[in-house]
Amino acid sequence: MFKLMYDVMKLAKKNHSSVCLQSSNSLYPRKSTCTACLNRVHFKRKNNGNVRDYDCENMIYYYCGRYSLKHTGELFTLLEQISSRLPDNPRILSVGCGPCTDL
């Protein structure tokens, strides 16, 4: 599982651009504000009901690179806690939500 997550995070880091893709057609492309865009995806009330979707590849790469290790760690901790109830060779993979960044 470690190798899989390492490869996913490596791919995400390689493909994430520091330039915002939404402004790529403008004369002055701004630095990526993926954190701000993710806040608009996840926190509807903080943004006066204005939400957006995972509609930007750059934001998905950012999210994957930043949070996949955390999600994998949470899954591993859970599996350790219930290991006595699992078969010898479980085949489990969290697909999370949104764009399934940890698939």
The better pLDDT of the pair 59, 74 is held by 59
The answer as to whether 73 is a domain residue is: yes
Work out the average pLDDT over 65-81: 80
Domain-located, residue 91: no
Task: Confirm whether 101 is domain-assigned.
Answer: no
How much of the chain exceeds pLDDT 70, in percent?
A: 76
Boundaries of domain holding 69:
2-85
103 domain residue, yes or no: no
Q: Is 67 within a domain?
A: yes
Q: How many distinct structural domains can be found in the chain?
A: 1
Reduced to 3 states, what is the DSSP secondary structure of residue 96? Answer: coil
Residue 31 located in a structural domain: yes
Q: Is residue 29 part of a domain?
A: yes
Please tell me the pTM assigned to this model. 0.64
**Confidence class for position 18, pLDDT limits 50, 70, 90:** confident
Residues in the chain: 103
Best-predicted range by mean pLDDT (9-18, 65-74, 76-85)? 9-18
Q: Using CA atoms, how far apart are residues 81 and 11, in angstroms rounded to an integer?
A: 30
